[in-house]
Structure 1
Amino acid sequence: MTLPRLATFTAAGRTRYGAVTDKGVIDLSARHGAKWPTLREAVEAGALTRLGEEAATLSPDFAEADIAYEIPVPAPEKIICVGVNFPDRNEEYKDGQAAQSNPSLFIRFPRSFVGHGQNLVRPPESPQLDYEGEIVIVIGKPGRRIAEKDALGHIAALSLCNEGTIRDWVRHAKFNVTQGKNFDRTGAIGPWLVPFADEAQIADIKLTTRVNGEVRQQDRTGRMIFSFRKIIAYVSTFTTLVPGDVIVTGTPTGAGARLDPPVWLKPGDVIEVEADGIGVLRNGVMDEATA
């Protein structure tokens, strides 16, 4: 079964949402915008599968070349990111410490992300723009102190993230990374949401990051230190998860900072993050001065 690909996009001067098909893009917001103004409300209503089924009966309204992708869930209440969630990634730190028993977490702001096909922006404060390919889960059912056995029932959809980082700015303070993770337009989420159907979708899928066609990161979700179930259960212990919340679940080894010597992203580079059954998130790079 081919799952629908539901995207937020700008076309003809308006931000819309719809289904991306091989023939073009169907504007579902024109049909359901009064009920669900954005995909965030559609997620809350549990309507993603229904929207996909309807789109299968409709003709495209736009060619894909005529739209600009935005991040799929506009204005999420929370974007929570997991750090150091693959075994080899933990070893990259060379600090002699075993993986911790609980995930390391940090917050990102929506303004720090762009959509598929848009350029990441390298700021003038630092050349150390790096990439991190990750899988995104979008919460569909609210919950607090969610048991691991129930956790996957709270997922509405999947997406992809390039969790771009300004590396030297994650060392501006003793023990936080907020600054280096939140420069405007340094990361990307997208291209779309794929409705979550069952655990097989994410249990052991391949995640790959390429820079200019060269594979830099590759691993499988079955090797994650903290499972999707564990992440949801842990995060929901201290905060109520609500529909539209975005959780970025961790990157494999191979980021540019860990190469010898380090290799930073530069204008003209193209980064692709790909995962089985979800798709490919593709972005270029430009300097802020030319953005």
Structure 2
Amino acid sequence: MKLFRYGPAGGERPALLESDGTIRDLSGVVQDVNGASVTPDGLRRIAARDPKTLPVIEQVDRIGPCLSGVGKFICIGLNYIDHARETGNQAPVEPVVFMKATSAIVGPNDNIVQPRGSTKLDWEVELGVVIGTKAKYVSEARALEHVAGYFLANDVSERALQSEGTGQWTKGKSCDTFGPIGPWFVTADEVPNPQALRLWLDVDGVRRQDGTTANMIFSVAQIVSYLSGLMTLHPGDVIITGTPAGVAQGMKPPAYLRPGQVITLGIEGLGEQRQTVIADSA
């Protein structure tokens, strides 16, 4: 299934995208697409309904974040060897873990706001993972049993905040609008192999990233298993799993984002995003 949320920010409603492109409202089935509805019981409840009995949505003006009420927003850094090399780092021997503030989450086509004083705004197309069942000390062999599904993410980054001064990754990743997720939450049964997905990103129509999750250093199963040994993972927690080469930081010279530029990105089977960079006017 492909589940998503539509409507104005703060007032999104749950919906189902059928294979023929028909959009069905899920408000009569679940309260929202959230931690409760991505559990096995929640997904079974949705799957049990005949989509033809649900109201058709003729027009969607805005797609919201594909999941609400995210508990933890966990990120994995330097998880593609080509990206590690372009940033001057060695391949990590274990997953590099940092957190992104949940307040950074926005819809897949919402604007990216460049913070005041920002000089090194960057992009990162990434595969996102949604936890569906509680995971604590799970084995790699059973890790994917705890995954409810997948989504497309742009791990927007401010490299000066990330690497200069005190050099805190979470600080450089957590500004408002730095977490576009969606458009869809795609259930795991529709993604039989998360290590065989093509992902790409363009800036102003120019291809900057073009990779495959087959090149991840640590697989989704390895990541979930590893994280479950550090902290309990709960339904509705999300993990983004790293980016391939092609970020602005790795270009010579770097070509960081500026207001007015447009980013488009996608992952095979998980949809596409489109964002415009704007200056912070607050």
CA, structure 1 residues 90+62, in 2 after alignment: closer, same or farther (shift >3 Å)? same
RMSD: 2.2
Q: Please name the residue that 1:211 is paired with.
A: 203
1:39 paired to 2:34: yes
Q: Give the match for residue 182 of structure 2.
A: 190
What percent identity do the matched residue pairs reach? 33
CA deviations over 1:229-274 (Å, ceiling 9, x no partner): 1100100001000001100000001101111111122222221221
Distance 1:205 1:249 in 2: 13
Aligned-partner Cα distance in 1 for 2:243–2:9? 36
Compute the displacement of 1:149 (Å): 0.2
Choose the corresponding residue for 1:17, options 11, 14, 18. Answer: 14
Residue-pair matches, total: 281
2:73 paired residue among 63, 70, 79: 79
1:8 is matched with: 5
In 1, distance between residues paired with 2:249 and 2:78? 14
SS at match of 1:42: coil
In the alignment, the residues of structure 2 paired with residue 61 and residue 11 of structure 1 have an alpha-carbon distance, to the nearest angstrom, of 18
Note closer, same or farther for the CA distance 1:245–1:204 as it changes in structure 2 (3 Å cut): same
* Structure 1, unaligned runs of 5 or more: none
Displacement after TM superposition at 1:53 (Å):
6.1
Is 1:274 the counterpart of 2:266? The answer is yes
Q: How does 1:1-291 map to 2 (within 5 A)?
A: 4-10=1-7, 14-21=11-18, 23-29=21-27, 31-33=28-30, 36-48=31-43, 50-51=45-46, 54=49, 56-58=51-53, 60-66=55-61, 68-95=62-89, 97=90, 99-174=91-166, 176-197=168-189, 200-289=192-281
User: Alpha-carbon deviation of 1:71?
Assistant: 1.4
| Separation in structure 2 between the aligned mates of residue 232 and residue 23 of structure 1, nearest angstrom | 32
Q: Return 53-62 or 126-135, whichever deviates more.
A: 53-62
Query: Which one is further off, 177-186 or 76-85?
Result: 177-186
Cα distance in 1 between the residues matched to 2:203 and 2:194: 24
Distance of 2:194 and 2:216 partners within structure 1:
11
Query: Scaled by the length of structure 2, what TM-score is found?
Result: 0.91
Letter in 2 for 1:18: A
Is this contact kept in 1: 2:13–2:25, CA < 8 A? Answer: yes
**1 CA distance for matches of 2:256 and 2:167?**
23
The amino acid of 1:39's aligned partner reads N
Residue 173 of structure 1, CA deviation? 4.3
Q: Give how far 1:100 is off.
A: 2.0
Question: Partner amino acid for 2:23?
Answer: V
Q: Tell me the amino acid that sits aligned with residue 5 of structure 2.
A: T
One-letter amino acid of the counterpart of residue 29, structure 2: H
Q: Partners of 1:269 and 1:20 in 2: how far apart?
A: 29
Residue 54 of structure 1, CA deviation: 3.2
Structure 1 or 2: more helix by fraction: 1
Contact 2:111 2:277 survives alignment (8 Å): yes
Q: 1:75 to 1:173 in 2, by over 3 A?
A: farther
- Measure how far apart 1:51 and its partner are: 2.3
Stretches of structure 2 lacking an aligned partner (at least 5 in a row):
none
